[in-house]
Amino acid sequence: MNKTAVVTGGAGFIGAHLCQRLLGSGYKVICMDNLITGSKDNLRDLIKNKKFIFINHNVSQYIKLAGKIDYVLHCASLASPEDYLRFPIQTLKAGSLGTHNSLGLAKEKKAAFMLFSTSEIYGDPLVHPQKENYWGNVNPVGVRGCYDESKRFAEALTMAYHRVHKIDTKIARIFNTYGPKMRSNDGRAIPNFINQALHGRPLTVYGKGEQTRSFCYIDDLVEGLYRLMLSPINEPVNLGNPREFTILQLARLVLQLTGSRSKIVFKALPQDDPRQRRPDISKARKALKWQPRVSLTEGLKKTIPWFKP
């Protein structure tokens, strides 16, 4: 293997796992991150590898790299509500300028390009489960619009580069993913619940906890991403676990697996919080021969030790 992949946002949760997978498959990996939410701690085991290079760079600024590059994998984004509500402008820049600069690098190097998009482009969906041909129900001026619209623009820009410049592009629509290397202050349900349970604090459930999510373990997601990267598919592909749980079910499962005696408390729903989220992965099953294999219980058992004090 004498191929090079650039991973923007490679010091983040998903990016670091992908860097590890690529190195394990023989690629040279150039990891680019400005560490606004990523961490070098996620790369501790990778930096010793001679095929791994870390560059501290904000992809919202022009990207210049020497040498041959085969893949540009644009993972850089502020994906947690806690982050994009605190940094809405940086989130929009990562999705717009960051995508433009990453696509420009792929065009210059004649490299394949993969955008890490999100299930949030579907907004609060009126169709369930969500297929790739659903256009979504997004509030563009709501507090979550900075993330949702940044990804919708990024998808449009990616397809424009594919049609005009004939770049081999891929779009992964990633549904809720969890696992080791997540930040303890990530702000999403699984790290929140695990941390609260391990520290004996009440688990915070919004609304009545009836809103649903589907949770994909990181190893399953990375396998899907890798297969999509090597595939000839240029249209968006959903990657996630189609098994659906209510948030209240998730909270109770975390309490059971941690052995915590914490209580569950209920708070008001955040603005524009989606009521349902479950991917239709028929396309990934057929085209990539991929589907998740790790159950939520098994995945949580692998994840909980990461958060233990």
Question: Looking at the annotation, which residues are catalytic?
Answer: 147
State how far the Cα of 66 lies from the Cα of 94, in Å rounded to an integer: 22
State how far the Cα of 57 lies from the Cα of 8, in Å rounded to an integer: 9
State how far the Cα of 72 lies from the Cα of 115, in Å rounded to an integer: 9
Measure CA 119 to chain center.
9
State how far the Cα of 77 lies from the Cα of 99, in Å rounded to an integer: 10
Length in residues, the chain: 309
DSSP 27: -
DSSP 271: T
End-to-end CA separation in angstroms for the chain: 40
